[in-house]
Amino acid sequence: MFLWSKLLLGELSRQRTQRAIETTLDNLPRGLTDTYNRILETIDAGGQYIQKIFRCMSLSVRPVTTKELKLILELDPDGIGYDPSLAILDPIEDLLRWSCGGLVEIEDYRVQFIHFTVKEYWYRRSVRLSMLTRLRGTEISRRSV
């Protein structure tokens, strides 16, 4: 309950007009899953980094450092290695705060999810998306036969 309240207060604090505040209050999500869905919907549009960040964090057995995440984000997507043209110009801490919708926290250069339920949610979401992708691939291959 406290985490849900904290996340919603954070969302309310980002609203810039009375109407936006009222709309947010009129459409409160019911629980953490709905809250996480809503946060990801709002940040996915501009969140080119969130997939890499959350994937790395959810697979890591320990908190990832800001330096490690910066290097991961600067890797060439084709797996060739470091790409200087992908160098992040903003401080990585600002990028993480901006792109992760308040779902991560940074302490002593370590980045972790604000709560274990975020990691569980992300894992379940990733598994569902992976299964849908496989099912669609099977569907497409059946049609082409």
Q: Which residue has the tokens 């604090």?
A: 13
Instruction: Tell me the C-alpha distance between 105 and 107, whole Å.
Output: 7
Count Cβ neighbours within 10 Å for each residue of 80-115 and write b for 16 or more, e otherwise: eeeeeeeeeeeebeebbeebbbbbbebeeeebbbbb
How many angstroms separate the first and last alpha carbons of the chain?
51
Q: pLDDT 10s per residue in the chain (145 long)? A: 688 888 888 788 878 899 989 998 998 888 888 888 887 777 655 466 788 888 888 888 899 999 999 988 888 777 778 878 888 888 999 888 878 888 999 999 999 999 999 988 888 877 677 777 766 665 554 454 4
Q: Which residue has the tokens 């600067």?
A: 74
Instruction: Tell me the C-alpha distance between 74 and 82, whole Å.
Output: 6
Instruction: Tell me the C-alpha distance between 61 and 87, whole Å.
Output: 26
Question: For residue 130, with 0-12 CB atoms within 10 Å meaning exposed, 13-18 middle and 19 or more buried, which class applies?
Answer: exposed
**What are the boundaries of each domain within the chain?**
2-143
